[in-house]
């Protein structure tokens, strides 16, 4: 004989007499959207970058990135987009410059794959979103930068020339403030003021270590 179980939801009532919804646990910390930085040396990373699918393979092989790299037995949407972009030459160089991969070509390849497996095709906006998330995965996992440029509708791996231009541009933007910051750090050091917490927070938040020229490491 089968038993019947009654499930009872208890609602609280506010002052106006309106039932309040059930209470479901929450937390202050949001769920992770990316994995951790991979412990890969620059020399090993360069070896991966010489392979057609070096970045996607590196991330996919990491246990810590498994929740983000995989969806069941298939690559997740961002990883799929990254893999296809790599197949289109994302990591290849021409005359030491990065290769621009057209986003529409990535979209075409993904939709061909989806059709072959009887799956629903995706829109251009979905592809762009997946590529942007893939770029975030790569940056967090390896420190490398990939640009998803919706003006030219291309995606590219930032080469040494663009990286140097970016560093110079960002430095120019903050040079005046860095000069002021240097004076304040010098003042703090000369008077033995403790600003270590601020310096540690800067390092943790930005990945940049602040230190006066000539100071002991």
22 within some domain:
no
Query: Under 8 Å CB-to-CB from 191, ≥6 apart: which residues?
Result: none
37 within some domain:
no
**Angle made by CA atoms 34, 50, 110, in degrees to the nearest 5:** 55
53-83 pLDDT, tens digit per residue, is 999 999 999 999 999 999 999 999 999 999 9
37-57 pLDDT, tens digit per residue, is 999 999 999 999 999 999 999
Phi, psi of 66 (to 5 degrees): -55, -40
Same domain flag for 147 and 183: no
109 within some domain:
yes
Alpha-carbon span 211 to 191, nearest angstrom:
16
Same domain flag for 81 and 105: yes
Alpha-carbon span 62 to 84, nearest angstrom:
19
128-179 pLDDT, tens digit per residue, is 999 999 999 999 999 999 999 999 999 999 999 999 999 999 999 999 999 9
Range of the structural domain that residue 138 is part of = 42-158
Same domain flag for 75 and 110: yes
80-104 pLDDT, tens digit per residue, is 999 999 999 999 998 889 999 999 9
Same domain flag for 195 and 132: no
Q: What is the per-residue pLDDT for 207?
A: 81
Where is pLDDT greater, at 204 or 8? 204
Same domain flag for 137 and 178: no
Q: What is the per-residue pLDDT for 152?
A: 97
The total domain count for the chain is: 2
Alpha-carbon span 127 to 175, nearest angstrom:
37
């Amino acid at each position: 004989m089968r038993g019947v179980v009654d499930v009872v939801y208890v609602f609280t009532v506010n002052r106006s007499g309106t039932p309040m919804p059930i209470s479901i646990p929450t937390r202050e910390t949001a769920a992770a959207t990316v994995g951790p930085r991979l412990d890969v040396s620059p020399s090993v990373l360069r070896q991966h970058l010489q392979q057609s699918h070096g970045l996607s393979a590196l991330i996919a092989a990491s246990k810590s990135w498994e929740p983000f790299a995989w969806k069941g037995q298939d690559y997740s949407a961002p990883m799929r987009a990254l893999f296809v972009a790599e197949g289109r030459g994302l990591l290849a160089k021409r005359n030491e410059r990065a290769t621009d991969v057209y986003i529409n070509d990535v979209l075409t390849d993904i939709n061909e794959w989806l059709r072959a497996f009887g799956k629903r095709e995706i829109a251009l906006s979905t592809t762009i979103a997946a590529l942007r998330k893939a770029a975030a995965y790569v940056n967090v996992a390896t420190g490398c930068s990939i640009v998803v440029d919706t003006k030219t509708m291309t995606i590219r791996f930032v080469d040494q020339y663009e990286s140097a231009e970016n560093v110079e541009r960002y430095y120019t933007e903050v040079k005046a403030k860095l000069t002021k910051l240097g004076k304040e750090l010098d003042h703090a050091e000369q008077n033995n003021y403790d600003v270590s917490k601020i310096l540690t927070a800067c390092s943790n938040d930005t990945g940049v270590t602040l230190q006066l020229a000539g100071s002991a490491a």
